[in-house]
Structure 1
Amino acid sequence: MTSVGTRAPSPAATGPGLADRVLGGWLGRIAGNMLGKPVEQGEVWTRERIDRYLRRADALPLTDYLPGPPEGADDLPALRPEWRECVRGRIDGSCRDDDVDYAILGLHLLETRGFGFSTEQVGDLWLLRLPYLQTFTAERAAYRNLANGLRPPLTATYDNPYQEWIGALIRADIHGWTCPGAPRQAASLARRDAVLSHTGNGVYGAMWAAALISAAFTAPTVRDALDTALTVVPASSRLARTVRRVISLHDTRMTWEDTLATVSEETAGPHWIHVVPNAAVLTAGLIYGDGDFTRTIALTVRGGLDTDSNGATAGSVAGVLNGARAIPAQWTEPLRDTVRSAVFGFDGVRISELAERTLRLAESEH
């Protein structure tokens, strides 16, 4: 495994291999997001209810997008209204979602401002390109603060009860994709972005995710990538302790179900969109998925909580590890190489174009 912070000479970080991994990251993020979208309501769609739904639909093991509502499921909660656009057999291009919008916005940031961008420039781009009503929780609070004339770091701290939620983590992928094999640099960029809207574990979650994706370009296994990502955040932080706890339970050969049950009890209390319990679900999906793309995103979404965000990040990591060519066709073909986006100027853009633009940035910096 490459030492932290160095640029890897590995063939995995150069040439065609890099292009395939970057495209894999984009495709994985979008597919994982859409897999989790119908059941994204953590206080309603618990792990038990998600699996009950899948059993009723004869969809366990989960190897494709969620099926539409089966007959006789009246006792289960309703799926999110967008479900008709993101269940198997009905997908025609990706659904619009903030988990993908922020990756696009981050790409535009790096293209227009470069790797030396400032936190203030992140905010300026939000106001210019992102509709207010397509922001949520900490991002909406920060957006409102920006519009009212506040500047970072006040944008993150003033009247913002969501400072440690998952929003900054879902914005981190672009920094990992453009810093292949350089996890400390990826984490530094993600931190500069995250402090616009988050503090504490909310920022650490973004740094951890960016480093995890960066490390996935050169790490031999997902476990190596997870170990590397832990080195960029304070070891005493709740986020780091929770990730280590999941890994340690896996190492005892505890089942995925029992690991999540144990850690869920230990992280009980925060809202279902808080970054710490979601990092536990994501870590469990990654380590029990063991590099297999389908198993990784399926376990992550079955883990519950913020299912579309966790599915997206898990898909990004697994997509980078495997490369686009290794992602099974049932996940990629329905996407039609097309993205729907609320980011002004990007609706309908090709996934392959986004990957090519990301690759140019990664090659220019490395």
Structure 2
Amino acid sequence: MRAWAPIASSYIAYGTLGWVSDQVELDPAYTGGYFDAMRPVDLLADEVRQRRETGYDVDAVVREANRIDPADSSAVLELVDRLSLAERSPGWQYVEPDELEDIADSLGALPAAEAVPEPELTDKIQAAWLGRIAGCNVGKPVESGDYWTSERIRDYLLLADAYPLRDYVPALDPMPDGFRLVDCWPDTTRGNVHGSARDDDIDYAILALHLLETHGSSLRPEDVGGAWLRLFPIEQVYTAERAAYLNLVNGFTVPEVARRRNPYREWIGAQIRGDVFGYVHAGDPWAAARLSYQDAALSHVGNGIYGEMWAAALVAAAFTASSPREVVERALTVVPPQSRLAEAIRDVLALADAGTTWETALAAIQDRYGHYSWVHTINNAAIVAAALLWSDGDYLTGVGRVVMSGWDTDSNGATVGSVLGVLVGTRNLPEHLIAPLENRTRSALFGFDNSVISDLADRTVRLAVGGLE
């Protein structure tokens, strides 16, 4: 997940009563679309969007923003801070708690923990790491959701005689007019993969393993923040994580780290950090979700937190589930039922129950949830759930479909690849995706570059078997 490329933005929100079209529009000077917490104009534009998506009336602040100079950073930041005082409009129907105790109280019956035999556990954890890293690399060349829409991806793959996608994305030479791959393409396209490219979706998995080895079950958000400051360059973290990083540097503490000047607090950044919590709690979705909360709460609130808890539960459930459907259903039990994320996952399950084709389901998800940023939690989680449900339990089908869906392609490819890796095991992973990884991955984490994938898996097994202290 890397969300800094400039895009065109829309601030017409989908509210609980339908599309809201009479809101005051921000001046285009605020809509650069870099999603950068170090740019005051981005903070204002994206906070307006976040507030409107969560039912707040911010028209008065938008009117004032349109009267000031967007280059006046102090004035812009003052308005960003004023948005935190906005009042929610009547009719908001969701209940989306931030505290772990309140989240737990909102849930019904939790899935029971199930044991996984050690030989099977060892193989599945190895497959999970390989599946995650391969799936991430499949999605990287088309990771720019407002440019690489599902339609553009399909058109490109048809030109390349690679539709449906069941391999790394091919790089055409010459590149046809109207298409441009993301700048990582020389290392992530078919025939060019020699070891895994660096990606934050991989960095956070490596970091989670390190955090669990260091802190075990006593992990707290403050531990996560300290590791970020020691091990991550700020320009290698994005959206919510960059906003939280800045707050940490400026001396703010939890929970303010997640909330102050962080319009990305419900975006996908936490969801990409959850898998390893599921690996070490194989067969126990609630234990995985509960521990992943400590990671998510540093930088996220609401559906941003639920996204990581859900991802951790997805992976944990996969170790004992008999089908992708069972995985999705069990993971849903850790998500507050009156949240927008739970609503979205239920919508996808209903589409599957209705016998909808993959193409029709994708169109329905895009229509219902396409108003969110292409790096938001809710729309991407819906696509992940759909790719799993329509995967037929096949790794290539699931990863190919989630990448062809657009939005955050590398993050979603990683999550689907992780879950299906667990389900199918190492013997059923596609050799043409796995062999080019050469058992190693780059990383921006200080001291962790060129990590050996099998070593990451072995360390994870030790935690999963031995338990967390």
TM range (shorter): over 0.9
| Matched AA of 1:112 | T
Q: Equivalent of 1:156, from 233, 250, 258?
A: 258
1:335 is aligned to 2:437: yes
Q: Could you tell me the TM-score, scaled by structure 1's length? A: 0.96
Q: Could you tell me how far 1:251 is from its partner in structure 2?
A: 1.6
1:137 is aligned to 2:239: yes
1:48 is aligned to 2:161: no
| Matched AA of 2:442 | R
| Matched AA of 1:293 | Y
Relative to its length, the structure with more helix (as a share) is 1
Separation (CA, whole Å) in 2 of partners of 1:146 and 1:231:
32
Query: What per-residue deviation string (whole Å, max 9, x for no partner) do you get for residues 104-145 of structure 1?
Result: 000000011112111101101111111111000000000111
Q: Secondary structure at the match of 2:421?
A: helix
| Matched AA of 1:107 | L
Aligned residue number for residue 96 of structure 1: 198
1:273 is aligned to 2:379: no
Aligned residue number for residue 176 of structure 2: 73
Q: Could you tell me how far 1:163 is from its partner in structure 2?
A: 0.5
**Partners of 2:113 and 2:285 within 8 A in 1:** no
Q: Equivalent of 1:59, from 135, 156, 162?
A: 162
Aligned residue number for residue 213 of structure 1: 315
1:258 is aligned to 2:360: yes
| Matched AA of 1:241 | E
1:349 is aligned to 2:451: yes
Separation (CA, whole Å) in 2 of partners of 1:138 and 1:42:
17
1:39 is aligned to 2:145: no
| Matched AA of 2:120 | G
Aligned residue number for residue 121 of structure 1: 223
Aligned residue number for residue 286 of structure 1: 388
Aligned residue number for residue 295 of structure 1: 397
Q: 1:263 to 1:178 in 2, by over 3 A?
A: same
Separation (CA, whole Å) in 1 of partners of 2:175 and 2:186:
18
Aligned residue number for residue 230 of structure 1: 332
**Partners of 1:5 and 1:185 within 8 A in 2:** no
**Partners of 1:27 and 1:332 within 8 A in 2:** yes
Separation (CA, whole Å) in 1 of partners of 2:247 and 2:178:
42
Query: What per-residue deviation string (whole Å, max 9, x for no partner) do you get for residues 46-73 of structure 1?
Result: 0000010000000012221111125462
Q: 1:192 to 1:72 in 2, by over 3 A?
A: closer
| Matched AA of 1:320 | V
Q: Secondary structure at the match of 1:65?
A: coil
Query: What per-residue deviation string (whole Å, max 9, x for no partner) do you get for residues 140-159 of structure 1?
Result: 00011111111111100000
Q: Secondary structure at the match of 1:62?
A: coil
Q: Secondary structure at the match of 1:81?
A: coil
Larger RCO (CA within 8 A; separation ≥ 6): 1
Separation (CA, whole Å) in 1 of partners of 2:234 and 2:178:
35
| Matched AA of 2:311 | A
Gaps of 5+ in 1: none
Aligned residue number for residue 112 of structure 2: 6
| Matched AA of 2:199 | D
Q: Could you tell me how far 1:357 is from its partner in structure 2?
A: 0.2
Separation (CA, whole Å) in 1 of partners of 2:231 and 2:369:
36
Separation (CA, whole Å) in 1 of partners of 2:367 and 2:353:
19
**Partners of 2:118 and 2:465 within 8 A in 1:** no
RMSD of aligned alpha carbons: 1.2
Q: Percent of counterpart pairs with the same letter?
A: 50
Separation (CA, whole Å) in 2 of partners of 1:199 and 1:89:
40
Aligned residue number for residue 84 of structure 1: 186
| Matched AA of 1:125 | A
Separation (CA, whole Å) in 2 of partners of 1:105 and 1:179:
17
Separation (CA, whole Å) in 1 of partners of 2:425 and 2:261:
42
Gaps of 5+ in 2: 1-108
| Matched AA of 1:17 | E
**Partners of 1:4 and 1:182 within 8 A in 2:** no
Separation (CA, whole Å) in 1 of partners of 2:161 and 2:207:
38
Q: How many residues align?
A: 360
Separation (CA, whole Å) in 2 of partners of 1:325 and 1:359:
18
**Partners of 1:57 and 1:70 within 8 A in 2:** no
1:171-210 mapped onto 2 (5 Å cutoff): 171-210=273-312
| Matched AA of 1:173 | D
Q: Secondary structure at the match of 2:163?
A: coil
**Partners of 1:180 and 1:215 within 8 A in 2:** yes
Aligned residue number for residue 28 of structure 1: 131
Query: What per-residue deviation string (whole Å, max 9, x for no partner) do you get for residues 8-59 of structure 1?
Result: 13xxx12211011001110111011000000000001000000100000000
Separation (CA, whole Å) in 2 of partners of 1:268 and 1:91:
32
Separation (CA, whole Å) in 2 of partners of 1:27 and 1:72:
30
Q: Secondary structure at the match of 1:53?
A: helix
Q: 1:365 to 1:158 in 2, by over 3 A?
A: same
Q: Secondary structure at the match of 1:344?
A: coil
Q: Could you tell me how far 1:7 is from its partner in structure 2?
A: 3.1
Separation (CA, whole Å) in 1 of partners of 2:375 and 2:305:
14
**Partners of 2:111 and 2:330 within 8 A in 1:** no
Aligned residue number for residue 28 of structure 2: none
Separation (CA, whole Å) in 2 of partners of 1:114 and 1:281:
32
Separation (CA, whole Å) in 2 of partners of 1:46 and 1:276:
17
Q: Secondary structure at the match of 1:115?
A: helix
Q: Secondary structure at the match of 2:451?
A: coil
The structure number with the bigger radius of gyration is: 2
Q: Which moved more, 1:324-333 or 1:34-43?
A: 324-333
